[in-house]
Amino acid sequence: MMVIADNHLNNNIPPLSGDFNINGGIYRDVWISTTGKIHFDKLDGAETAVYIQTPNVSEKKHR
């Protein structure tokens, strides 16, 4: 797998100024994960667990 990071100016993609993207590129570790078709996606990467709530379960509905 090859990943290319391109930080050329593109007037269609903001921000057009600022000092945080001048030296753009991949500058942190990257992990690639394979998953099954059904999985929980921890989008922010900060959570250590998946929490599931079932607020509408009743004796009649759970059977």
Question: For the chain, where are the alpha helices, taking DSSP H only?
Answer: none
pLDDT band at 46, cuts 50/70/90? low
pTM over 0.75: no
The more confidently predicted of residues 4 and 23 is 4
- Count CA within 13 A, CB hemisphere, residue 11: 0
Q: Is the pLDDT at 58 greater than 70, yes or no? A: yes
Above pLDDT 90, what percent of the chain? 0
